[in-house]
Amino acid sequence: MTQNKKVVGITGASGVGKSHISQKLRDLGYEVIDADKTAHESINKSACKEELCEYFGKEILNGENIDRKKLGKIVFQNPEKLEKLNEITHKYILSDIADQIKKTKGKTVFVDGAVLIESGMKCDIMIGVLADKKIRIERIVSRDRITEESAQKRILAQQDDGFYRKNCDFVIINNGGDVDLSAILTRIEE
C-alpha cells in the first residue's frame, strides 16, 4: 500500500489482547507500529493539543500534557464527546503512522490499533481480535487499574464483536493460551 509495503491492521476493542498478538509478530521478526503509543505522542503535539483543549477545556491537561485518564473519563461516558475526540485526533495520529510506515524496512508492516477501521486507516488486510467479555473486563481492570464498572462502560462505548467480524479479513479469538498465526501469515505473505 505504501511504497509497495503490505500494511496489515490488527484491531479490536479494549482488552482483547491485541498487544499479545503484536508481540508474537515482533517475535517472528515483523515490524509492528503501536497506534496507541503513537496516539500518546500525537495528542501532545501542539496543534492536536490546542484543538483538544479548545473543545474539552484546559482541565484535561496535567502540566503540559494531556491527561489521558481525565480525558477517558469524559469521553467513555459520552458518545458524542468520544466521537469529537476521534474527529480531532485521528488526522494527527494517521499522519504520524503514515510517517512510521515509510520508515519501516520490511515488505509487510503491522499496525496495532483499537479504532483503525473507524479512523479510516487504509490497510491491505485487517485482522480483528476478539475475546470473551469476562476476560476483557479482567484484562482492562488489571492493566488500567480501574473498577469493573469503569471497564464495562469502556466496553459499552466500543464496537461489538459483530463489527469486527463484518469489517475484518481475519478474526482471531484470544481468550488466553497460544494463538496460532501461521494460517493468517501464510495468506498475508502470498
**Residue-wise pLDDT tens digits, 60-114:** 999 999 999 899 889 988 889 989 999 999 999 999 999 999 999 999 999 999 9
For position 189, what pLDDT does the model report? 85
Per-domain residue ranges for the chain? 6-188
79: CB partners within 8 A, 6+ apart: 157
Other beta carbons within 10 angstroms of residue 114's beta carbon come to 21
| Rounded Cα–Cα distance for residues 132 and 182 (Å) | 23
DSSP assignment of 52-116, as one string?
HHHHH-GGGEETTEE-HHHHHHHHTT-HHHHHHHHHHHHHHHHHHHHHHHHH--SSEEEEE-TTH
Phi, psi of 164 (to 5 degrees): -70, -35
Q: What pTM does this model have?
A: 0.90
Whether the per-residue pLDDT at 2 is higher than 60: the answer is no
Cα–Cα distance, 73 to 90 (Å, whole number): 19
6-188 belongs to CATH 3.40.190.10: no
Task: Specify the pLDDT at position 147.
Answer: 94
Average pLDDT, the chain: 93
pLDDT digits (tens, 9 = 90+) for 34-70: 999 999 999 999 999 999 999 999 999 999 999 998 9
Residue range 20-39: mean pLDDT, rounded:
96
Predicted local confidence at residue 3, as pLDDT: 56
Quick one: cell of 181?
Answer: 498465526
Whether the CB-CB separation of 13 and 113 falls below 8 Å is answered with no
Q: Per-residue pLDDT for 1 more than 60?
A: no
DSSP bridge pairs for 129: 172
Is a pLDDT exceeding 90 seen at residue 131? Answer: yes
pLDDT tens digit string along 138-171?
999 999 999 999 999 889 988 999 999 999 999 9
Of 166, 155, 95, residue with least CA distance to 131: 155
Q: Between β-strands 65-66 and 108-112, what pairing exists: parallel, antiparallel or unpaired? A: unpaired
